[in-house]
Structure 1
Amino acid sequence: MEKISSNHLKKYFSFNSKKKVCVAVSGGLDSMVLINLLLDLPKIESEVAHCNFSLRDQESNKDEIFIRNFCSEKNIICHVKKFDTLNFSKKHKLSIQMSARKLRYDWFTELLENNSYEYIVLGHHFDDSIETFFMNIFRGTGLKGLLGIPKENKKFIRPLSDFTKEEILYYAKIKNIKWRYDRSNLDIKYLRNKIRSVLSTFHSFSFSFHNGLKKTINHLHDENFLIENKIEEVRQEITIEKKDYPFFWKIECKKIKKLQPLSFYLFKLFSPYGFNDIHSMKYLIDAQSGKQLISKIYRIIKSRNNWILVSHQLLSENKNKTYMIPNLKIINKKFLPIDINFFYDPEKKSRKDMFLMDFEKIQFPLLLRTWRKGDFFYPLKMNGKKKLSKYYKEKKFSLLEKEHTWLLINGNGYIILIIGNRLDDRFKVTENTKKILGVKI
């Protein structure tokens, strides 16, 4: 009773004014103790979110009714979402437990976006962390997988993380808190339940079991903290350029190659982006320009002596998009992908920051777009035409550079200019040119 109290929760909710939180309540022991503790905090306005996964026939519906009645008695808002978990599992080829987890957290994220909640509050306790610890050992894991369930993760917090199931049960009995019992917790077809059964045996003959594991996990947290700091130092050392939106990360291959142990650093640096194949990443370090690795959301492109890590969206966002410039008097730059400027009759001498062309050969409307299959042009000061794909290859353009290099297209469909790179010879300024058009980015 001294350990579990509303005072313990205050360190998570040190607000000066009243704040609103949403508590995930299943109806089980842990979540019912949690919501009762939160209702005793004066500066917290609690609402409830309950997931009905439709997995236990009438038992699932009785859980929902139990929660609705509790919220009605306490005069608090209750959000309920009913899921067809079995069909979701089949459709997405996920286990029942993974399906329920995804459905639950997707909905919680939606609730956070649509309401002014400070946090989503969850009822996980220390025994849950121990079970996760052993589950990850069986599956194979790194240090991070041994840390259990985090107490805080952005907008998700777990105030009961330091307490054991036994302590929570004792508190519930003393306070006469009612809860619903989920019989599926005994079903040993689930790995977590098998581990729970084995762990109960350890606990029965060793009172120091929980304390020993708690010390171990705390030490692992400290070690992970030091490792993450080192990883951040290395990330900065290998980075040439990095921006968050749109996501773009340019990395120096020479510095990656020097990292030791290389496999460890490759995993820590790139697994968050979905790259877990260490062998393929090692190969890519010395691969020829243009080779790439693809994950679900991102790709790593070898570009000369660098890696470029980008999202698929960044590579495809310009594809097949065309922007029109009806005339030079009215140019709405707000709707163009680049800041392009046109000048009548600039000085005839060439300038590094401006491309000069024969205005009389220009036909409107002009178009801006990226390259497409079959594109060709007549490179300035070269004889004959050249396919754009071949030109890009000769210039060693990376895939990213190809997709983000804009073309200025004449009204008759001819390429006037590879912007920032090369003018088409057909539009060059000659002795017969009467009027010059300058293009500057």
Structure 2
Amino acid sequence: MNKFSYEKYDHFFLKKIMKYFSGKKKVCVAVSGGLDSMVLLNLLLHIPNLTLGVAHCNFTLRDKESNKDEDFVRNFCLKKHIMCHIKRFNTLDFSKKHKLSIQMAARKLRYDWFNELFNLYELIALGHHLNDSIETFFLNLIRGTGIKGLLGIPVKREKFIRPLSNFTKEEILHYAKIENINWRLDKSNFDNNKYLRNKIRSVISIFSDPFYKGVKKSINLLYQENLLIENKIKEINQKITIEKKYNPFFYWKLSCSKILELQPLSCYLFKLFFPYGFSNMKNLENLLYAQSGKQLISKKYRIIKNENNWILISKSFLFKNKKKVFSIQNINKKISFPINVEFFFITETEIEKFNPTISSLSLIDFYKIQFPLKLRTWRNGDYFYPINMKGKKKLSKYYKEKKFSLLEKEQIWLLVNGNEDIILVIGNRLDDRFKVTKKTNKILGIKIIY
């Protein structure tokens, strides 16, 4: 590496990072006390019209050393009159509670807190550099990854910025020596037996400039290739989509026949559905040929086969009504949740105006109902006696005949009598046992308000 004079080297760093802060006024720097974050903090102190804050995480993992890091950062901020935010975490307990590795637990705790700090700052600056990206490149390569995993650490993601991303560790160290910057040394970074990243770090540290330039060039090329792939995936996404909406919940209806046209199929399935937690491509392929009603479940989503379509939906929404029962103690008021239902009494003269073909209106014999009435969704074994039909029918068979998808089944509410008999499949069919006859003395109207 070429050695710059003090003035040239200082200008070299500042020129490269100032572009990231154009127009920004309030920036928080994540400072561990180590070399990288201390160099970044010192550099940002040279940028005019920038109000700086510092965020320091004490993960309480190295006993006295962790506390010394905290004191070091606090004292530096006091001398420079910088607002200092310090947060202590019980990382070990959090790791055990959520079944995460220590590194992943610390990462989650750190970024969750950083997101809270966006109430005070426009950006949060992190001290990751080129060596960190190269380490991530090889780490993901060893574990197995696609192109996206080989892109290293992004310079900018949302409100997080990494201004040192294009600088090597050697360049940062050289700058620190020129500027007489003090920092704390974390000895755990050199424990090659504990973390795979540390082993990779020790290997790549022996290489010279051409190695870093070559890997950096490769990462940049991979980034461009990944951009081409992402643009293609967006086109495919539009091609296979029948309907997509996000409010009040995520709902995505896709054409199975259009998906089957994609080649290589497993590659496209991975790119399209891995972001939703589906990683078994064989199961996804099998679902394309499965019968209606079959489904796959990830941590947060479900894909349901419905005839020749897939419906991908937020799992939490689909399950939330499954076990809920809403009790109706009287009929003196409108029901507004979980659906809008209005009860009203109707006279014999008014019944002539009633149109029985309108599914949102139903008339029942009031004296045949028992309170409390209930609103719930269907359960295995449910049956009713469809009006104007002989005999009883399982609700599952009725839904199948109506060609309701699994999604539709779980969103249809039932009005259930106090003795658990189904009075009404709301919006669909009345039970014959509760219909109005010549012997009916009091008629109750039920109206669904859409």
State the alpha-carbon separation in 2 of the partners of residues 83 and 150 from structure 1. Answer: 26
List per-residue Cα deviations over 1:114-143 (Å, max 9, x = no partner): x33222221101111111111111111100
- Aligned match of 2:197: 192
Structure 1: give runs of 5+ residues left out of the alignment: none
Match for residue 247 of structure 1 among 250, 256, 259: 250
Cα 1:372–1:43 change in 2 (3 A) is farther
Please state if 1:278 is matched with 2:277: no
State the alpha-carbon separation in 2 of the partners of residues 430 and 4 from structure 1. Answer: 91
Please state if 1:155 is matched with 2:171: no
Please state if 1:28 is matched with 2:31: no
State the alpha-carbon separation in 2 of the partners of residues 417 and 317 from structure 1. Answer: 21
Cα 1:238–1:361 change in 2 (3 A) is farther
Match of 2:321, as an amino acid? N
Cα 1:90–1:428 change in 2 (3 A) is closer
- Aligned match of 2:307: 304
In 2, are the aligned partners of 1:378 and 1:425 still within 8 Å (CA)? yes
Offset, 1:66: 0.4
State the alpha-carbon separation in 1 of the partners of residues 120 and 417 from structure 2. Answer: 51
Consecutive aligned runs of 4 or more in structure 1 exceeding 6 Å deviation: none
In 1, are the aligned partners of 2:335 and 2:342 still within 8 Å (CA)? no
State the alpha-carbon separation in 1 of the partners of residues 63 and 393 from structure 2. Answer: 68
Aligned ranges 1:166-315 → 2 under 5 Å: 166-189=170-193, 190-203=195-208, 207-245=209-247, 246-315=249-318
User: TM-score, normalised on structure 1?
Assistant: 0.89
List per-residue Cα deviations over 1:148-175 (Å, max 9, x = no partner): 1011112222111111112222222222
In 2, are the aligned partners of 1:6 and 1:37 still within 8 Å (CA)? yes
Secondary structure of 1:80's partner? strand
Offset, 1:261: 0.8
Match of 1:223, as an amino acid? E
Match for residue 79 of structure 1 among 80, 85, 88: 85
Match of 2:202, as an amino acid? S
Please state if 1:357 is matched with 2:363: yes
Structure 2: give runs of 5+ residues left out of the alignment: 1-8
Secondary structure of 1:209's partner? helix
Match of 2:278, as an amino acid? F
In 1, are the aligned partners of 2:244 and 2:251 still within 8 Å (CA)? yes
User: TM-score, normalised on structure 2?
Assistant: 0.87
**Between Structure 1 and Structure 2, how many residues are aligned?**
432
Match for residue 54 of structure 1 among 50, 54, 60: 60
In 2, are the aligned partners of 1:355 and 1:423 still within 8 Å (CA)? no
Secondary structure of 1:391's partner? helix
State the alpha-carbon separation in 1 of the partners of residues 71 and 424 from structure 2. Answer: 68
Secondary structure of 1:350's partner? coil
Cα 1:35–1:349 change in 2 (3 A) is same
CA RMSD of aligned residues (A): 2.5
Secondary structure of 1:185's partner? helix
State the alpha-carbon separation in 2 of the partners of residues 4 and 341 from structure 1. Answer: 72
List per-residue Cα deviations over 1:226-277 (Å, max 9, x = no partner): 1101101111111122222412212111111111110111000111111110
